[in-house]
Structure 1
Amino acid sequence: MQQLFPEIEPYQSELLAVDATHQLYVEQCGNPQGQPVLFIHGGPGAGCSTKDRRFFDPEKYRIVLFDQRGCGRSKPFGSLTDNETSFLVADIEKIRHHLSIESWHVFGGSWGSTLALVYAQSHPQSVLSLVLRGIFLGRPQDTQWTFEGGGGTRIFADYWHEYLACFPDGESQQSIKAAYDIMTGDDKALAKKIANAWANWEIRCCTLEPNEEFLAGATDDDSSWTLSRHEAHFMVHDCFLTDNQILANCEKITEIPMIIVHGRYDIVCPFDNAWLLHQALPKSQLVISKTAGHASIEPETTHHLINATNKMLTL
């Protein structure tokens, strides 16, 4: 089994102003002369972690990571102002130009796969290859599966009950809009309670086997606040995508080398997301993690992702 590469520190980090409001945290790791690769984190609102640097050979890659608008180390923290998919795509191009990178490999998981696909379809000339994990197509049925009583809530019925119990009116508020209204409302204590409940519900569903360390690392108060509010913000607006946008625009990226890694038992983003994408892009390679759920830190998924990033170096 492939393991994560050793821990590394950035050789450069900065705050990059992308408009009058938002400054994005951007860091670079690995070899400044290596092949450039962009890591796009999930959520929306999750931010990058130190483990995200470690999916790439630091001797061969120039690794670029950034925290999307309003989350992680970007400023202003928690801001949902001008926070839409088109703005995030434009931000990625601003980072590329700022770093004087002609084109780069792009790696994205979960929401990061969504954003990577929309970015590649908007700027195919900028993308050397795609490594995608835990595909999320951003359609209404994809959000309903996890957060509006869909299939995921039936599999983890006990976790779902605990989530709904945090709402003042319980089960009657089992909609993304109800959660969003509370999390963006005036009652900050209740907003924080629902944000923590949302994050705990989702992260507990991410791994095939319970992983308390992973859960704790992704559900502290700050992480829960941005993950939950950002996700609800995007979901109530259909991820700021047109109907079935990603699958409808796959012809724009048919020639970009792509490896798709997806857990067979992914409850957050079911496997048919990856299957449909692969069918729309028959030149892509679909790798199934047969003993994994959604999370990138599950051993088989980590193994396949590192194999994928190593393979992209040979293009």
Structure 2
Amino acid sequence: MSKKYGLFPAIEPHHTGRLKVSTLHEIYYEVSGAPDGQPVVVCHGGPGGGTSPSMRRYFDPQKYRIILFDQRGCGRSTPHAELRENTTWQLIEDMEQLRSHLDIEKWLVFGGSWGSTLSLAYAQSFPARVTGLVLRGIFTLRQDEIDWFYQEGASWIFPEAWEKFIAPIPANERDDLLGAYAKRLTSENRREQLEAAKAWSVWEGSTVSLHPSMERMKSFATDHFALAFARIENHYFINKGFFEEDDHILKNADKLKGIPGIIIQGRYDVVTPMRTAWMLHKAWPESELVTIPDAGHAASEPGIISGLIAATEKFKK
């Protein structure tokens, strides 16, 4: 990448709506950019992270019709932090409902972190609906990826943040931190729930970028964000992404045949280490892997921003 890109100017959506996707769930969505532009759908991270206005700014608003949506249980979707009827396969069906609702035949799919998981699973399920994939911080929800970040691995790099993460969990329960957190995040004791949710959320907020951001850590510690983020993430991870096999995404890489993709990966990504991006790239010949040498996991890091926008500029042509 010779040219360095920055975010496009901030824009507001020209259409917002709510889509009833089940008897229980209703998702928020918004459309911005060019009404007749190339459709692109953004899969946010987490699961449970929700969308933010900055996500509109990775696309040329004169060329793209930009669709953002909050996945079940988070952001402005309702009910908040709800775990019932909340699986990967239901989110994929929600994307199809939304595509049909907006009368879109095919779209570019853009996602980072958990958003890359959902983007890949969607593309493998509905390849004919995908014009291309722009992915960041590849995560395929294999057990070794989960263990690295929530049991042992990343803890060696961020021991001070790890100490705060494990603080709510008694020493005799720390051999299964996912399970210990699940008990607390689904507890009927609201105070216990929030304590666990904030510790879980702040751990990720403390590790996502090469340079720490106090503003990010504060936002990750707010009650509303932390509760959905922690509960829904833990729910998906305990249930192994609702995949039948541990390596479902990589095993089904052949279903991406014919779909072009660009993978943007920070060399020093501690949340979703580069090994997984490399494995996906090797299994998916149509993909291009772009390694950012001075970045971690966050979409807001300058090198990641530049890489993602270089990718969306390439796809608009």
TM bucket, shorter chain: over 0.9
The aligned amino acid for 2:50 is G
Partner of residue 298, structure 2: 295
Whether 1:59 aligns to 2:62 is: yes
Partner of residue 15, structure 2: 12
- Percent of residue pairs bearing the same amino acid type: 44
Deviates more, 1:197-206 or 1:218-227: 218-227
Following superposition, the deviation at residue 216 of structure 1 comes to: 2.3
The aligned amino acid for 1:192 is L
Partner of residue 175, structure 1: 177
Whether 1:131 aligns to 2:163 is: no
Native 8 Å contact 2:173 2:180 kept in 1: no
Partner of residue 189, structure 1: 191
Structure 1: which 5+ runs fail to align? none
1:88 to 80, 88, 91: 91
Deviations 1:87-139 (A, max 9, x none): 00000000000000000000000000000000000000000000000000111
Following superposition, the deviation at residue 172 of structure 1 comes to: 3.0
The aligned amino acid for 1:258 is G
How many corresponding residue pairs? 312
SS at match of 1:312: helix
Following superposition, the deviation at residue 310 of structure 1 comes to: 0.6
The aligned amino acid for 1:112 is G
CA distance in 2, matches of 1:76, 1:286: 37
Partner of residue 218, structure 2: 216
Partner of residue 229, structure 2: 227
Whether 1:242 aligns to 2:241 is: no
Following superposition, the deviation at residue 221 of structure 1 comes to: 1.3
Alignment of 1:35-50 (within 5 A): 35-50=38-53
Alignment of 1:116-155 (within 5 A): 116-148=119-151, 150-155=152-157
The aligned amino acid for 1:124 is P
CA distance in 1, matches of 2:242, 2:205: 23
Following superposition, the deviation at residue 171 of structure 1 comes to: 6.3
1:251 to 250, 254, 268: 254
Native 8 Å contact 1:25 1:67 kept in 2: yes
SS at match of 2:250: helix
Following superposition, the deviation at residue 176 of structure 1 comes to: 0.4
Native 8 Å contact 2:198 2:220 kept in 1: no
Following superposition, the deviation at residue 151 of structure 1 comes to: 1.1
The aligned amino acid for 1:179 is Y
Deviates more, 1:293-302 or 1:239-248: 239-248
CA distance in 2, matches of 1:217, 1:273: 28
CA distance in 1, matches of 2:10, 2:285: 35
Deviates more, 1:177-186 or 1:108-117: 177-186
Deviations 1:14-33 (A, max 9, x none): 11001111000010000100
The aligned amino acid for 1:72 is G
2:116 to 113, 116, 122: 113
Native 8 Å contact 1:165 1:171 kept in 2: no
The aligned amino acid for 1:228 is A
1:274 to 269, 273, 277: 277
Native 8 Å contact 1:85 1:239 kept in 2: yes
CA distance in 1, matches of 2:229, 2:96: 23
CA distance in 2, matches of 1:92, 1:141: 28
SS at match of 1:121: helix
SS at match of 1:9: coil
SS at match of 2:139: coil
TM-score (norm 2): 0.97
CA distance in 2, matches of 1:90, 1:13: 20
Whether 1:203 aligns to 2:205 is: yes
1:260 to 260, 263, 268: 263
CA distance in 2, matches of 1:135, 1:89: 18
CA distance in 2, matches of 1:177, 1:45: 18
SS at match of 2:232: helix
